[in-house]
Structure formats: structure tokens, C-alpha cells
Structure 1
């Protein structure tokens, strides 16, 4: 592949990943419009949102190894088909079951696309970009996630027929993504085998994995909160019914996460996870205060601070686990890590929906924030305890010597 063609493929694949990920968060500021039209509660909103994770997990486990066996391009094209199907379902959706179908299809597109596109971007990177290719994939992924609610929020606030126009726009983006995939050459050597993705963690990795996975669970729980019920918080608690602002708040957590992941690479993994947990705890403290005082500035600050904590703890937690994992088992360990993360954006968020229905959105959100903050503190305490034991062991060894 010539350098010019490689540059071309690298950029096209990055665009395709971003375009697909836009669709996964696009409905966030639109849930309020759907709830007005279909008369459903915050609990139903969280269930609709959470079904996305089910699609991701199914795709991750069933199709996770396919691109190694049949090539990146066929799998990426399948991802664009699911993304198009999701957008079409949202275009015609007039009931909650159809919204659920749309979200499952969106999850399938993301689950198929994310890992495969990341691998393809790294493989297609020109020599001068080789070391920065993972960062480019991260920016494309999370940048797409963050752009989705911003785009939909602006259209919902300022454009006519946002429940149709928004998805027509995304259909156009996905068609361009499919063309991009068709234009790039195959980057895989097709040496893998078809089969279900195995999930396991070697015994020697488990102490670090448990802490890293709990930190990832806490962080993804927060992203689930902001991309499902933050618009309802803005309207019900803060008293502002601005869809564009709701989209910006939901998108800001992903923007902060992306920046944190890029700059967090300079921090030693275990220390970074500890720092991320501490920042995430602070973010939850800010959210509690924001909900109590109905503060817009506090809600925005909570999203940004929590995004920083989530980004650092998640990316560096994966790095900490990878450091200890044998190369031939990294795929299954990484997949296990992602399964934990995607469970975190589904089940806890539904719990928040039940809490909001029982106690009100303010009290439910406060209880949710306190629970996540406590979990992050437990992770921080476990890391500090592990480090103290390690230092104590080294000191004992030195004294014996």
C-alpha cells in the first residue's frame, strides 16, 4: 500500500468509526420528545437506553473474533448495515417496542464496529502515525459518542421535525461511512477462526483485574447516567428545557473522557486508576451538591469532572491489566473487561429509573451518585492497600537481605 493510499485509508476508517458511534448517543436529548409523544416515564427511558448495552454485549461475544477470520471490511460493512437499520427504525418509531428495537440494533452496530475499526485504524496507520494510531482511534470513538447528543440537541432545539431530521442526517453519515469502508483496502491477514469470544481472567491477573474492573464499572455507570437521564435532570430539577444544552451536558462527559485518556497515558497505570477513582468520587460529590441546589453549573461540572475520572480509570485500568496478561490471552481478558463496562451502563441505570419512580428524580439521582462515589472510594482504598502491602513486602525483603 502506498503512503498516500495508507494515509487515505487511515483517515477514512477514523471517520467511519466516529460516524457509527455518533448514532449510539444520538437519541439522548430526544428521549424527552419521545416521552412527551408516547407518555412514558424516566424508568422507561432508562430501559430504552440500557437495551443498547444488550446489543453491544451480544455482538462482542458472538462476532468479536470474526474480523480476524474473514477480514475487517466485511465486519465493518455489517456494522454499517445495523447502524442504518437502527436509524430507519427510529425514523418510523411510534411506540416503545420500536424504540427498544432501534437501540438494540444500535448496540449491535457499535459492538461489531468498535473493536474491528480500532484494529483496522492501527493496521492502516502510516509509519509516522503508528504510535499515535490508538489515540486516533480513541478520539474517533469517544469523539463520536460525544458529538451524538450535541448534534441531536441542536437539531431538537432549533430545527423542524427533529425526530426525523436527526436520523436522516445520521443515515447520510452512515452511507458515507459505508463508502469509506468500501474504498479502503483490507488490513487483516485473516488468520483467526470463527467462534464465540471466550471470557476469562488468569489467576495471576485477577487481583489487579478486579480493582480495575470495579473502577471501570463505576465510571461507565456514570456515563450511563448522563446519557440517559441527564436531560430529565436538566428539565425537572434545574428547570431548563433546552434540548441543545441537554445534548452539550451529555456530550461533555465523553469529551472530558477522551482528553483524559489521551493525557493519562503518561501516568503509571495503577497510579492512574487511583487518581481516576479519586476524581470520579469528586465528580459524584459535585453531582450531589448540584442536585440539592438545582445548579446548572454544578451539573455541567459534575459531567466534566466525572468524565475525566472515568477516562483515566478506564483506559489505564485496561493498561494495568494488559501489563500482567500473557499476549495470547489478552483478547479474552480485554473482552471480559469490556463486558463488565457495558453491564455498568445498563443495569445500574435501570436501577436509577426505579429509584426516580419511587423517590423522585432528585433523591434517586442523589442515592445513585452516593453509591457510585462509595464504589470509587472502595477501589481507591483497595489500590492504596495493595501498594502498602507491596511496599511492606519489599521492605521486609530488604531487611532480610
Structure 2
């Protein structure tokens, strides 16, 4: 149960999750403009996009359990400061090196924020860890859904399109400072503790953890490919403005939110099973739509893909929340996030070289194949958990 002193912390955690995820997709509708003004290619776009999850993974591997040792509030404040610095670096970047560096710093701040905010919600939500996990994934989904739309709209209406979106996010990051200041200092580990400590998953949890990890792979493959190449898909269909690119990406991400709301009564196993099937169907329809230049198929496929990604996120995050031992919530969730963000980096980096040699359709067909492999792992896993009455 959350005490009264913890309520401001939980509110701050929710707001920071939304803003951090908005920030993660802020550059997405801006990539075509970077390409036009800076003369960078698709491979460079992949590198810029991948800088963010690389920063997240590097931080989480050694500092993922930091808030278990030094407190949720302290870690949230640290992450907020790092993310604020990243927004300024990105907004005032003048070359590719600064842009990639800013994305790495942004990932580092987001990693600290997301792991500590999720742990705070799962351990202290007044309705228990399952509801805390639901609030966590809903906030994440809301942030990634509106991020491209907000950034694209700001860029389209501003005479400084590569600066204003980042400054707006920087200002929004200041909003949770008041509730963080009012929250009580939460418990920290007693005695001498190590700042850097590798995250690990106990052997007894590995089988169930692997099901959640592969399900979140499906979600973040969606985020990775649409985040990096959603604008190219939009351009292929003739939608060329930043706002139009942002709307296409946001269509997928709004469907992620719809899945959170519509699927919250599903069991963890059912959500993941249905999610991987819908993701496979969504990638297939999107690939077919791009190949045939069918806007209807692309939009339908994008929406179905978002529903699948959202259900995978919902079920897998809830599973991680209930298997995490007390006092190690941030560490286990960070291990889960390492898989999630390594997927973001890997899909973006792999897609770039492929896209320079093969048509966009080839990237989407590869996503269909990977989704098939994901389903082949997750579906037997959730059936096994159902037999064990751990659904």
C-alpha cells in the first residue's frame, strides 16, 4: 500500500514516464528534415535512432538497480537532470556527432527514469503490483503515442523545427519537480553499497522471464522500426510533411494505448499470446500495403501492429512485476528493459544497412519473419504457464 507520503512520488513517476517516452520519439518526424538539411542518409538515421537505446542499455547494465539501493526519488531526480541536459544537446546540435551523442545521453537519462519509476509504481501502488504495472505501461504507451505527433506538429508550425520540439520537452520535464520535492525520501539500502552493480535475473526466474523478454522483443521491434523508418513508410505512400509522418507513427502508438485500456482485464498469458499473433498479422499487412502502395493496408496493418505491441507490453510487464522478489523490483525490471532497448538498437541498426541495399519492403518482410519466430517461442511458453496456473 502507498502511504500518503508516497503519493506525490507516484504522481511524479507517472508524469516522468509520459514525458520521457515523449522525448524518446521526439526526433522521429524530424529525420527527413535532418536528411534534407544535413545531407545524411538512411544509415545515419539508423545510428541516431540507435543511440537512444544504446544509452539506455549501457546505463541499465550497471545502474539498473540503482533505485533499489539509493531510493526511487533520488534516482528519478538524477534521471530527470540527465534527460534535461540531453534535450538541450539535441536542440542545439549542429552535426551528426552531436545528434548521436545527445541521443546516447537521452537514453542514459531515460534508463534511470523508467527503471526507478516502474519500480516505484509496482511496489507502492495502493491497488497492488498488477495495477502498478498497468499504470506503468499505460504511461509509457501514452508518451510514445503522442511524442511523434507533438514533435511533428511543433516542427511544422515553427521556423526553428529542429530546436522548438526539444525545448518544449525540456520545459515539460520541469513539471514533476514540485511533487518530487514534496515526496518523502524513500528507503535506501543500509550500510556501504556499490553504485555500479550488474543486473542479473535469478536462475529460478529465467524460464518465465524469457517469455516476458521475447514478448517485449516483439513490442520494441515495432517501436524500433516504426520509430526509425515510419517517416520513410509515410513518404512511400505520398505523405511527406513532418506532421503526416508523425500521424502515421502515432497511429501505431495510439493503438498501443487502446490495447492497454482494452486488454487490462486479460490474463498476462492471454495478453502476450494475442499480442504476438496480432503483431504478426500487423507486420504482414503493412508489408503488403507498402509493396502494393495501398494506404488502407498500411494504416490497417499499422493499427493492428500497435494493438499487438501493446498487448505484448501489457502482459510481459505485468509478468515481470509479479515474479520480481521484494527489494529487487528495479533490478529485475531493468533486466527486462535491457532486452527491450537492445531490441530497439538492434532493429534500427540492422534495418539501416538493409534499407541502403534493398527496398523498404525487404525490411518489413524481415519483420514478418522475426514475428513468426517470436510467436513460436511465446505461445508454447504461455501455454506452459497456464498449465502451471501461473497465467
TM-score (norm 1): 0.85
1:315–1:391 Cα change, 3 Å: closer
1:191–1:232 Cα change, 3 Å: farther
Q: Distance in 2 between matches of 1:212 and 1:136?
A: 18
State the Cα deviation string for residues 76-118 of structure 1 (Å, max 9, x = none): 1111111111111122211100000110111011100012122
1:271–1:306 Cα change, 3 Å: same
Q: Is contact 2:251–2:302 with CA below 8 Å preserved after alignment?
A: yes
Q: Distance in 2 between matches of 1:271 and 1:130?
A: 18
Which residue number corresponds to residue 378 of structure 1?
Answer: 373
Which residue number corresponds to residue 199 of structure 1?
Answer: 200
Q: Decide which structure has greater helix share.
A: 1
1:2-401 equivalences under 5 Å are 7-122=7-122, 125=125, 127=126, 132-191=131-190, 193-194=193-194, 195-200=196-201, 202=203, 205-235=205-235, 237-320=236-319, 332-359=331-358, 363=359, 365-383=360-378, 385=380
1:128–1:382 Cα change, 3 Å: closer
CA RMSD across the alignment: 3.1
- Secondary structure (helix, strand or coil) at the match of 1:160 reads coil
1:321–1:38 Cα change, 3 Å: same
1:201–1:262 Cα change, 3 Å: farther
- Secondary structure (helix, strand or coil) at the match of 2:174 reads helix
- Secondary structure (helix, strand or coil) at the match of 1:176 reads coil
State the Cα deviation string for residues 255-290 of structure 1 (Å, max 9, x = none): 322332344343333333221111001001111122
Q: Distance in 1 between matches of 2:24 and 2:361?
A: 26
Deviates most, 320-329 or 297-306: 320-329
Q: Distance in 2 between matches of 1:216 and 1:130?
A: 19
Q: Is contact 2:273–2:382 with CA below 8 Å preserved after alignment?
A: no
Measured after TM superposition, the shift of residue 6 of structure 1 is 5.4
Measured after TM superposition, the shift of residue 54 of structure 1 is 1.0
Which residue number corresponds to residue 396 of structure 1?
Answer: none
Measured after TM superposition, the shift of residue 208 of structure 1 is 4.3
1:327–1:167 Cα change, 3 Å: closer
- Secondary structure (helix, strand or coil) at the match of 2:175 reads helix
Deviates most, 20-29 or 372-381: 372-381
Q: Distance in 2 between matches of 1:93 and 1:263?
A: 40
Deviates most, 186-195 or 151-160: 186-195
Q: Is contact 1:290–1:298 with CA below 8 Å preserved after alignment?
A: yes
Measured after TM superposition, the shift of residue 190 of structure 1 is 4.2
Unaligned segments of structure 2, at least 5 residues: none
State the Cα deviation string for residues 130-160 of structure 1 (Å, max 9, x = none): 8644333322222122221111110112222
Q: Distance in 1 between matches of 2:89 and 2:44?
A: 18
Deviates most, 94-103 or 131-140: 131-140
Q: Distance in 2 between matches of 1:175 and 1:325?
A: 31
1:382–1:124 Cα change, 3 Å: closer
1:383–1:172 Cα change, 3 Å: closer
Q: Distance in 2 between matches of 1:73 and 1:380?
A: 38
Aligned residues: 386
TM-score (norm 2): 0.87
- Secondary structure (helix, strand or coil) at the match of 1:163 reads coil
Unaligned segments of structure 1, at least 5 residues: 394-401
Measured after TM superposition, the shift of residue 47 of structure 1 is 0.9
Measured after TM superposition, the shift of residue 375 of structure 1 is 2.8
